Amino acid sequence: MRTIGLEEHFVTPELVAYGASTSTVAKPQAWADASRRLLDLFDERIDLMDSTGLDVQVLSLNSPGLQAETDADVAVDSARTVNDFLAGVVQRRPDRFAGFAALPLQDPQRAAAELERAVVQLGFHGALVNAHTNGMYLDHPSQRVVWEKAAELDVPIYLHPANGVDLADTFSGHPELVGPMWSWGLDTATHTLRLIFGKVFDDIPEAKLLLGHMGEGLPYALWRLDSRWDFHNHHGIELDLGYPSEYLRRNLYITTSGVCDAAPLSSALMALGPEHILLGTDYPFEEMAATTDFIRSVDIDEDTRHAIAHGNAERLLRLPAPGK
């Protein structure tokens, strides 16, 4: 069975500094191992792919990536450089790698142009955005041009977590809750709901959003979201489709990254359907073998297993079949 992972991180030596704040949430040795693996693209990484049975990685720049850059011109130049670098990696091993573009959302017009260049000229299959860009979220009106370009190109935008702009008081005194174990998922789920209530998906119905970590908890909240949408004052917001769940079922695709557990997978399948779930390993922050063993052994029907492992990625990203 072919396997394609969609949340597969890398970094370049020039961009390592952007991820320095992430190291505070990891044990020193774990972060040292992850840092080494982020920089490696052809040696240990491919050996691990071979030994664990992961056929293809769709590579993306590690969090927080270009979203942490404060200078728009620097972000634009860095995006071109890192996307050209990634294109060279894919060109060297097109049998093992594909790419998601890094976008300089500090300048949405130029970000849309870079997305087009990355897809049309470099052969990428979408983009990955690491949370907010200096406090600007993807529902901001200035970012519509990026969503419009993604819809025009028929490629998804993968929304990946990073450190939030600030922290709610409920986290005070509990730094263990800050980071990928808890706060990042809440931030990313909330960011997604901003896209719905900010009417991004009303304005651009063809937009496709990817989330990792089995959907950051959203597939399990559909009934509650709709129930409370009926109950609450909408503050002047009217949704074309009526209910939040309709957008999550239509516009949202999720990956299994970092969640190798049958119970949430079963719930996600019931909530979104098998055509909206794809494979992801969250490498190097999770072990590849955990993901590949999980998808090969979890108790689901074989059509669903193949759809999650490779079929949905081939369709959504238009990835060529082996040998083509």
**Which active-site residues does the annotation give?**
282
Distance CA 203, CA 144 (A): 9
* Encoded tokens for 239: 């949704």
Distance CA 100, CA 258 (A): 19
Grouping H, G, I as helix, E, B as strand and the rest as coil, residue 287 is coil
Distance CA 272, CA 265 (A): 10
Give residue 145's Cα distance to chain centre: 19
Contact 58, 316 (CB under 8 A): no
Grouping H, G, I as helix, E, B as strand and the rest as coil, residue 32 is helix
Contact 262, 298 (CB under 8 A): yes
Q: 172 Cβ partners below 8 Å, 6+ apart? A: none
